Amino acid sequence: MDPRKTPSPADAGEFTSPQTVPLRARRPRGLVSEIVEGLASSIREGQLQPGDKLPTESEIMARFEVSRTVVRESLSRLQASGLVETRHGIGTFVLPPQESGNFKISAEDFATVADVISVLELRISLETEAAGLAAQRRTPENLQAMESALRAFHDSINLDSDAVPPDFQFHMEVARATGNRHFADLMTYLGTMIIPRTRVNTAVSAPEGRLNYLQRVNGEHESIYSAIRNQDAEAARAAMRTHLSNSRERLRRGNNAHTMQPPENAKNSPA
């Protein structure tokens, strides 16, 4: 099918039925990631071809029992990955494979501890400046969203959780507080796999134990939040740099002890 051709009703019916798209069962690591991974794997495995129309928002909502906001964020991440495009008033369609020279970070880029450290170094440069901008531009709504993420993190670590979703959410809210959509778009594109605990057993192997380790991480988040709340750009940059640099150093020190968590269906995991 021509990827630019609007499908006929018959064609659209073939691809909009949820039963024709082999989406994966629910997993605990975030509803957005769940939908993205299911649709992306269907595209990369060829079950959805260039030009095929994705299920409608309503069908995806029903299939995964999620809100429209979750579905739209999922589709936004797929667009950022270059896998689909949305044609307003028509639907969302699978795009042809991108040129190999286009920038991407995929699950294969997290195969080793050294790979995770490399991505952390990228984050240090980007998120340090994001924290400074957030301190200058944050709104009361931004602060409330950060506080919510901090509370969720605190609640999670007392429930034998790895606290990955609220960890990622806090960093996402800092990006949003910059007022520059490109920071938030990049965080959306990268998703929760930028959190080292999704790839490396840092919490399990931490010398101080899982609970103390996660409490320390959340304490670093609180330092970032305090600087942003106080509109101290330099302190916010320093706190973010310290937080991410600590993560990098913990990985370096424990490189021999940590075991990589095999990414679920890594070859199909989206960026």
Of 18 and 113, the one with more pLDDT: 113
Q: Which of 192, 260, 199, 197 is nearest to 37 (CA)?
A: 192
Q: What percent of the chain has pLDDT over 70?
A: 72
How far apart are alpha carbons 117 and 123 in whole angstroms? Answer: 10
The pLDDT value recorded for residue 97 is: 77
First to last CA, the chain: 26
The pLDDT value recorded for residue 103 is: 62
What's the pTM value of the predicted model, to 2 decimals? 0.57
The pLDDT value recorded for residue 140 is: 96
The pLDDT value recorded for residue 33 is: 81
Contacts 24+ apart (CB under 8 A), 39-45: 39/74, 39/78, 39/83, 39/84, 40/78, 40/81, 40/83, 40/268, 40/269, 40/270, 41/265, 41/268, 41/269, 43/83, 43/84, 43/94, 44/267, 44/268, 45/268
In whole numbers, what is the pLDDT of the chain averaged over residues? 78
Q: What percent of the chain has pLDDT over 90?
A: 32
Which domains does the chain show, CATH number per domain? 9-94 (1.10.10.10), 107-266 (1.20.120.530)
